[in-house]
């Protein structure tokens, strides 16, 4: 099945609204408008968005998440997502991260890229 055969979504997760807006705009500029772009400001909201999209038949093709967030950090969030939806690739965005967390999120969340801000 081709990506254009079904609705596809990219989820951006960050607790700072201005960063979410900027990230979505940048992705739209680079990828065009062939994707549905969803946002969430924390891990709980993001999991609800993913469940809702999947229940409607929308394929989540990428999650871009901040690392440092209140309640649940991005690494723990992506590990939770991977346990429930192992097919969804993810990118963890951070300016700095401890080596142990870097290894843990790579091992437990599958393929996950760490990108310095």
Dump pLDDT digits (tens) for 53-87: 999 999 999 999 998 899 999 999 999 999 999 99
Number of other residues whose CB lies within 10 A of the CB of residue 77 = 27
CB 90 within 8 A of CB 112: yes
**For range 26-41, the mean pLDDT:** 94
Distance CA 69, CA 19 (A): 13
What mean pLDDT do residues 10-27 have? Answer: 96
Token pair in block for residue 92: 């963890």
- What is the C-alpha to C-alpha distance for residues 78 and 67, in angstroms, rounded to an integer? 10
Q: Is the pLDDT of residue 117 over 90?
A: no
Residues 79-96: what's their mean pLDDT?
Answer: 91
101 against 116, higher pLDDT: 101
| Domain 3-115, CATH number (from 3.40.50.2300, 1.10.3720.10, 3.40.190.10, 3.30.1360.180) | 3.40.50.2300
How many CB atoms lie under 10 A from the CB of residue 102? 16
Q: How confident is the model at residue 2 (pLDDT cuts 50, 70, 90)?
A: very low
HSE value, Cβ hemisphere, 13 Å, CA-based, for 104: 14
> How many other CB atoms are found less than 10 A from the CB of residue 97?
17
The answer, yes or no, to whether residue 110 has pLDDT greater than 80, is: no
d(CA 15, CA 88) in angstroms, rounded, equals 21
């Amino acid at each position: 099945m081709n990506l254009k055969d079904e609705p596809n979504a990219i989820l951006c997760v960050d607790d700072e609204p201005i960063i979410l807006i900027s990230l979505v705009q940048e992705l739209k500029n680079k990828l065009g408008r062939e994707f549905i772009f969803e946002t969430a400001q924390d891990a709980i909201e993001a999991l609800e968005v993913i469940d809702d999209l999947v229940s409607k038949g929308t394929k989540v093709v990428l999650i871009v998440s901040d690392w440092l967030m209140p309640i649940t950090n991005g690494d723990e969030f992506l590990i939770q997502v991977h346990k429930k939806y192992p097919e969804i690739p993810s990118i963890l965005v951070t300016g700095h991260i401890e080596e142990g967390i870097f290894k843990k999120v790579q091992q437990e969340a599958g393929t996950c890229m760490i990108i310095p801000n």
